[in-house]
Structure 1
Amino acid sequence: MVSSEAIRTAVGILGNAIALGLFLSPTPTFVRIWKKGSVEEFSPFPYLATLLNCMMWVVYGLPMVHPHSILVITINGSGVIIELSFVILFLLYSQRGKRLMVLAMLLGEIAFVGVVALLVLTLTHTYERRSLIVGVICVFLCAMMYASPLSVMKMVIQTRSVEFMPPFLSLASFFNGTCWTAYALIRFDPYIVIPNSLGAIFAVAQLILYATYYKSTKEQMEARKKAAEMGLAEVVVAKGEANKISSTPNGYKSEIREM
C-alpha cells in the first residue's frame, strides 16, 4: 500500500511543476512589453506580491524554521528568480514615476523579509514558534498575492475588456491553488491550505470575468484596428492632396488668387 507521505511527496512534485508554470505564465506579457518598450497599462503589483510571497515561503521552508519542507524551498526559490526578472523588466520599461514606485516597493520587500528572518531566527528558539510566526505572515502574503489581480479585475469590469488580464496567469493560479491545497490536506498544514484554497477561488473569479468579457474585448480591439487603418488612410490622402497643390504651376495659382 502506498503511504500517505509518498502520495504527499508526489502531489508536492506536481505542485512544483504547476507552480513553475504559474511563475512563467506571464512570459508572453513580458515579451510584449520588451518588444513595445513599454509596460502600457499592465500592473506591477501581481509580480511584486508574488515575489514577496516567494521570498517569505523560502524562509518558512528553511530547516531551522519548518523542517522537511524542501519542496517548498525549491519551487519558491525558483519563483524568486523568475519574479525578480519580471520586476526588473518593469523597472527598465516603466515611466520615471512608476519606476521609482516599483523600485521603492522592491527594496522595501527585501528589507522586510530580511528583518523577519533575522528576528525569528534570533529571538525564537523552537520549530513550532518559528513556524507559527512565519506561517501566519505567509498566509497573509499568499492571500495578498492571489488577491493582487483584484485591481485589474476592477478595470476589466469598468472597461469591459480583458486585454490587460492575462488568462494564462489566472488558469495557472487555479491549478496551483488546487494542487497545493491537496498537498497540505494530506498532512494537514493550515498555513498552506488557507491561502491556496483562497487562491483557487480568486482564480475562478478571474476566469469567469475572462469568459464574460472576451467577446467585447475582441470587438474593442477590432474597432481600434479599424480606426487606426482609417486614420492612416486619411493621412495618405491628405498627403496626396498636398503634393498635388505643391505641383500646380505658379501661373495657375496666381489666376486662382486673381479670380
Structure 2
Amino acid sequence: MGDRLRLAVGVMGNAASLLLYAAPILTFARVLRKKDTEGFSCIPYIIALLNCLLYTWYGLPVVSCRWENFPVVTINGLGTLLEFSFILIYFWFASARDKMKVAAILIPVVLVFGVTAVISGFLFHDHHHRKVFVGSVALVASVAMYGSPLVVVRQVLQTKSVEVMPFYLSFFSFIASLLWMAYGPPTHDLFVAICIVTKNPLCEARLHA
C-alpha cells in the first residue's frame, strides 16, 4: 500500500512538475514570434537548469540506491531538455549584452554540476554519503530556483503589471512543491521532501546486505 501511494504521489508530482517546466512555452512562443526577448531575465531558467541537472544526477543509481528515485529522474531529465531549449532560444534572440550575461551565469552553473558529479562519483564510495553531498548542493539550487522569479518583482512594482510574472508558473510551482513534499517522507528521503539531511534506512539495508 505504501509503495502504491508513493508511486501515485510520484506520478502526480511528475505531472505537476511537467506543467511547471512547460509553463514558459507560451512565453518563448511569443519570443519566437516577435524575435525579441522583450527584456525579461533568463536567470530563472538557468537556475532551473542547474536544479534539474542536479536532481537527475541525484536520482540515478550512481547516487541513489538502484531506481528508488526513478520519478525524480524522469521529470528532471525532461526538465533539463526544456530548460536548455528555453535558454537556447533566449540566447539566440537576446542582445549582445544579454548574451554575455547568459554566458557569465551559464558557464559557472555547468561547472558546478560537473564538479558535483565528479566529486560524488569518485570521492564518495557509498550511496548515503553521495546522497548527502549531492542532495545538499541540490538543496541550494532548489531554493535558488523557487526564489529566482523574485528577480522580476522589482519590474512588476515599477510597471504595475504582472505580465512578466505569469500566474501559471507560480501556481504550478506551488502545486509541484506540495506533491514532492508528500513524496519524500514515505521513503525517508527528506532531500526530496523538505531538504533535511537524513539517512535512508532502505538504502543502508541494501548496502549492508
Q: TM-score, normalised by structure 1?
A: 0.72
- Determine which structure has more spread, i.e. the larger CA radius of gyration: 1
SS at match of 2:184: helix
Equivalent positions of 1:105-254 (< 5 A) are 105-194=105-194
Q: Matches of 1:104 and 1:140 in 2, distance apart?
A: 19
Per-residue deviation at 1:30?
0.4
Q: Matches of 2:29 and 2:5 in 1, distance apart?
A: 37
Q: TM-score, normalised by structure 2?
A: 0.88
Q: Any runs of at least 4 consecutive aligned residues in structure 1 with deviations exceeding 4 A, and if so which?
A: none
Per-residue deviation at 1:175?
1.0
Percent of paired sites with the same residue: 37
What residue number does 2:4 align with?
6
- The answer as to whether partners of 1:139 and 1:194 remain within 8 angstroms in 2 is no
Per-residue deviation at 1:106?
2.0
1:44 paired with 2:24, answer no
Q: Which structure features the higher share of helix residues?
A: 1
Q: Matches of 1:131 and 1:36 in 2, distance apart?
A: 44
Q: Matches of 1:8 and 1:153 in 2, distance apart?
A: 36
What residue number does 2:101 align with?
101
Per-residue deviation at 1:117?
0.5
What residue number does 1:23 align with?
21
SS at match of 1:148: helix
- Cα deviation digits, residues 53-85 of structure 1 (max 9, x gap): 000101111112112111111110000000000
Which sections of structure 1, spanning at least 5 residues, go unmatched? 196-259
Q: Matches of 2:25 and 2:149 in 1, distance apart?
A: 16
Deviates more, 1:23-32 or 1:152-161: 152-161
Q: Matches of 1:8 and 1:157 in 2, distance apart?
A: 41
Q: Matches of 1:102 and 1:148 in 2, distance apart?
A: 15
Task: Tell which has more relative contact order, 1 or 2 (C-alpha 8 A, sep 6+).
Answer: 2
Q: Matches of 2:170 and 2:61 in 1, distance apart?
A: 32
Which sections of structure 2, spanning at least 5 residues, go unmatched? 196-209
Q: Matches of 1:143 and 1:154 in 2, distance apart?
A: 19
SS at match of 1:146: helix
Q: How many positions carry a matched residue from both structures?
A: 193
Per-residue deviation at 1:148?
0.1
State the Cα RMSD in Å: 1.2
